[in-house]
Chain A
Amino acid sequence: MTQSAPLIALAGNPNSGKSALFNALTGARQKIANYPGVTVERKSGHFAFADGRPAELVDLPGSYSLDPTSPDEEVTRNVITGLQQGERKPDAIIIVLDAANLDNHLRFALEVIALGQPVVVALNMMDLAERDGLTLDPAKLSEALGVPVVPTVAVRRRGLEELSAALENRLLQKDSAPQPVVSKTRDHGLRKQAKLIANQVIISETAGRRWSERADSLFLHPFAGPLILFAILFVMFQAVFAWSEAPIGLIESASEWVAGTVESNMAPGFLRDFIIEGAIAGVGSVVVFLPQILILFLFILLLEASGYMTRAAFIMDRMMASVGLSGRSFIPLLSSFACAIPGIMATRSISDPGDRLTTILVAPLMTCSARLPVYAIIIGAFIPPTVVGPGIGLQGLVLFGLYVFGIVGAMIVALVLRSTVTKGPNSGFLMEMPKYQLPRMKDVLIGLWQRAWIFMRRAGTIIFAATVVLWLLLTFPKVPEDSGMSQVDYSVAGRIANVITPAVEPIGFNRDIALALIPAMAAREVAVAALATTYAIDAPDEEAEAKSLTERLQSRWSLPTALAFLAWFVFAPQCISTIAVTKRETNGWKWPMFMLAYLFALAYVAAGITYWSAVALGL
């Protein structure tokens, strides 16, 4: 034990308060990585025993059984048995039990104890059990299991010192540890044994407050339930767009200020251009996503921590099942309306691998906020503001149609994928719905910080690199001063556009569009700025830019071309960061490449059909 700190694994059922205990023991300094070869998160941290000796703590994915039914459970089994690649065998295991749910949770505990490794049981959420009217005898449980049992309330930091002391004891007398009294039995036997022990440990049981059940008679009401769900979602989306406006403005003016400062303090030249147009613009384009992502994740984490998320999945399951997905896919897909990146990151809560992959692949079809600037400028320029009904304008109708187009597209694609490339047994949506809980701010903030950090580090580096590369493509080679050509036309990007143009002409696109599509790979909304650059618009502010861009577009594009352009953006995977996140979440290049190919193919076909239909209709 001198060469390295002992490794302690935290194991338990989902909803046993395991992560809260992990947070309480390790604090906010946690390391998150993936186990090699799988997209299962490895969360680790450090804590110290009473005498200051350090130990490494690893939070294993919540499991119902050592007989795995999901990639998460497989990792838990492998770590505990010492078979997990990239992880040493833990020196001791803390099994976390929900005190109010003993008969169900003891089953997994019995399985782990039967392996004979040093084990300490944390009888967690004792306060909630008491509130439910349960009186438990931890000493009886310890006697029945043959391992130390420590009552804890992780969220109030109660029992942590006792837990650490019990753990230390267990590690010291590793070799002379008393053999646990549990025998190796499977399934039926285990359950009966669990029930038997639970009956011994529960001293008395009175009808406690059943407020969680009462809340469900409202939240899961066949008619009121869906209405409440949509009200919550409405508030969430309202917040994502309304609350993010101010911080986004701040970030934009901050990066303008930095660029301005550099500009006035550096000699003109390549380096200055690189710093301003490449580096600062690159960092800015990453950070500008953060406010929306943070707000969205704040809501998702609150919904998860309170227990409502599983209710939302329950309500939406029937609908999602009709396209081969499950209720679990609902929130990730919904998040993708703000941005596909947090949506794809949120698919981690889907335990079925086929469901998860399908959800990731269709997430970019949800109309994200980056498409709005593109839609707005094209609709504004080409769709007349006629009123088609009471309070319904044609422009709004077209925008709505584009959203519906994306959703219907996603449903069809999900159906097709589920019966072809992601075919496989469906896990059938068996899901525990935990009791409602007041979310603890500290745990939510730790979660929020972790997601933000993952986004900044993973997506950030790639968005940044892509922005710089695109800038280089647009800047070099430098146009000779007397040639009369624009820099964009002369650049590598301009030459690439020449190559692409013949390929996109059949779907009604001209060379200007081909050129705008290249920088728009960084993010869709860049297409607007790129078109402005192409049409050599030098406007003092955004409003004037939009106005003159509208005029140029009207004079240079036909209506069928504009409609085809809209259809293209419903499907086209014009977002390198989404591809990057997909690569990370699927652990390889296979699926992001597949995503890129199928979305471009769909975009091409959709734009082509739109163009030729519009031409045929004489629009």
Chain B
Amino acid sequence: MSIATTLDQLSLKQNAEIVAIDWAAISESEGRRLRALGIDEGIAVEKLHKGMFGLNDPIALKVGRMMIAVRKSHAQAISVALIPVTIPA
């Protein structure tokens, strides 16, 4: 897991781990809501869908067993590292 990017730039079906969130770029209550929905540093995410016409705003993320819609403005503040695909035994 070396290649780092932000969540909005992540390609589809790519597993990644959140390595850092720029909390200063997000308001306090939005930050709390992000964490309440399970989006936080150290969490594994997968980008499932892009928005209308393939725009990266909003995007649908898989977090645990939930699917969460996130706008680009938030996704840009979330840095992720790619997790290499492992074939399950």
Task: List residues of chain A with CB under 8 Å of any chain B CB.
Answer: 64-65, 67, 69, 100-101, 103-104, 107-108, 132, 187-188, 191, 213, 216-217, 220, 222-223, 225-226, 310, 313-319, 321, 327, 425, 427-434
A residues less than 8 Å from B38 (CB atoms): 103-104, 107, 191
Given known A-B contacts A191-B38, A317-B71, A433-B69, A65 and B32 have beta carbons under 8 A apart = yes
Contact indicator B65/A69 (Cβ below 8 Å): no
Q: A101–B67 Cα gap in the complex (Å)?
A: 11
The 3 closest A-B pairs by CB, nearest first: A64-B36, A65-B36, A222-B54
Contact indicator B51/A430 (Cβ below 8 Å): no
Contact indicator B49/A216 (Cβ below 8 Å): yes
Contact indicator A429/B69 (Cβ below 8 Å): yes
Contact indicator B65/A100 (Cβ below 8 Å): yes
Task: List residues of chain B with CB under 8 Å of any chain A CB.
Answer: 26-27, 29-30, 32-38, 40, 48-55, 57-58, 60, 63-71, 73-74
B residues less than 8 Å from A216 (CB atoms): 48-49, 60, 67
Contact indicator B71/A64 (Cβ below 8 Å): no
Contact of A103 among B58, B65, B73 (CB under 8 A): B65
Q: A108–B38 Cα gap in the complex (Å)?
A: 11
Contact indicator B66/A432 (Cβ below 8 Å): yes
Of all chain B residues, the one with the shortest Cβ separation from A108 is B36
Contact indicator B36/A321 (Cβ below 8 Å): no
> Which applies to chain B's interface (DSSP): helix, strand, loop or mixed?
mixed
How far apart are A306's CB and chain B's nearest CB, in angstroms?
15
Contact indicator A318/B51 (Cβ below 8 Å): yes
How far apart are A215's CB and chain B's nearest CB, in angstroms?
12
A residues less than 8 Å from B34 (CB atoms): 430
B residues less than 8 Å from A310 (CB atoms): 69
Of all chain B residues, the one with the shortest Cβ separation from A213 is B48
Of all chain A residues, the one with the shortest Cβ separation from B57 is A318
Q: A319–B33 Cα gap in the complex (Å)?
A: 23
How far apart are A225's CB and chain B's nearest CB, in angstroms?
7
How far apart are B77's CB and chain A's nearest CB, in angstroms?
10
B residues less than 8 Å from A222 (CB atoms): 50-55
A residues less than 8 Å from B51 (CB atoms): 222, 314-315, 317-318
How far apart are A495's CB and chain B's nearest CB, in angstroms?
54
A residues less than 8 Å from B26 (CB atoms): 428
Contact indicator B33/A69 (Cβ below 8 Å): yes
Give 12 A-B contacts (CB < 8 Å), ordered by A residue. Answer: A101-B64, A104-B65, A107-B38, A191-B38, A216-B67, A222-B51, A314-B58, A318-B52, A427-B30, A430-B74, A432-B67, A432-B68
Contact indicator B60/A220 (Cβ below 8 Å): yes
How far apart are B75's CB and chain A's nearest CB, in angstroms?
10
Q: A223–B40 Cα gap in the complex (Å)?
A: 31
B residues less than 8 Å from A191 (CB atoms): 35, 38, 40
B residues less than 8 Å from A223 (CB atoms): 53-54
Contact indicator B30/A314 (Cβ below 8 Å): no
Given known A-B contacts A69-B32, A222-B50, A318 and B55 have beta carbons under 8 A apart = yes
Of all chain B residues, the one with the shortest Cβ separation from A307 is B67
Contact indicator B30/A428 (Cβ below 8 Å): yes
Contact indicator B69/A431 (Cβ below 8 Å): yes
Contact indicator B58/A318 (Cβ below 8 Å): yes
A residues less than 8 Å from B29 (CB atoms): 69, 425, 427
Q: A226–B54 Cα gap in the complex (Å)?
A: 11
How far apart are A324's CB and chain B's nearest CB, in angstroms?
13
A residues less than 8 Å from B40 (CB atoms): 187-188, 191
Q: A188–B40 Cα gap in the complex (Å)?
A: 8
